[in-house]
A and B are shown apart, each in its own frame.
Chain A
């Protein structure tokens, strides 16, 4: 009985004899390259303008802002001159700097 157990144990210890190396599963290289490529992309700094959608959105916003500023400025050009004149007159009257008061 003991010899039986001993023989069994020795058989088991020798069960790796003649073992072949396990082969890589199919398409391993493809999956590995895909993983490396994915990691490379993740490593790159986050730049929203890399994607066309983001680039077009940002550009459109920029153009809209510029257009809006131009329109706003054009609306205010008339009021701007009158406003400046008013403030100048106010300044002049405060310091009695009207044309008639200037004496040489």
Chain B
């Protein structure tokens, strides 16, 4: 559950495993503070999503700093790891299409992306997603609707260009 969620966000198995470990370490340290006002699974999803997004933001910042350093001549050229847009849970005949969809998902705003990911890859209900994202069910519906519209727009321009 945690690994699947994180992998669907970061799309790299090694990184997903590392983030998963961080999630369980945090759970280990803060489980005494869990007061049961939400379900344990909701709490786990929240930590997993936050950790995955944190890592993505950190990676983006590091890339930007590195690019800036390269421009001013201080950067060290590193091999850029291309995200493996290959989720092991996707059926073989759909892998190529799923890779395109994952790529399009990365272009969405964070909230839309998380809502779509939790519904489609984890199979959570709108109510469960609203608990994880600490928002209302109506907001989740709105996010999903906008996510699908944006994805259609991105994919249409991808295929028509």
Contact = CB atoms under 8 A, between A and B. Distances in A.
A62 to B, nearest CB: 39
Contacts of B3: 22-24, 28
B160 A16 contact: no
Main secondary structure of the interface of B (DSSP, over half): helix
B13 A25 contact: yes
A51 interface: no
A24 B4 CA distance: 8
Contacts of B101: 12-13, 15-16
How large, as a class, is the contact surface on chain B?
20 to 34
B97 A15 contact: yes
A16 B90 contact: yes
Contact of B7 (A11, A22, A35): A22
A75 interface: no
Contacts of B97: 11-12, 15
Interface size bracket, A side: 20 to 34
B21 A19 contact: no
Contacts of B17: 24-25, 28, 31
A21 interface: yes
B89 A32 contact: no
A22 B28 contact: no
A17 B97 CA distance: 11
Interface stretch (B35-43, B69-77, B148-156): B148-156
Interface of B: 1, 3-4, 7, 13, 17, 20-21, 24-25, 28, 87-91, 94, 97-98, 100-101, 104, 120-122, 148, 151-152, 155-156, 159-160
Given A8-B155, A19-B89, A35-B21, 5 more contacts: A8-B159, A9-B152, A13-B101, A18-B94, A28-B17
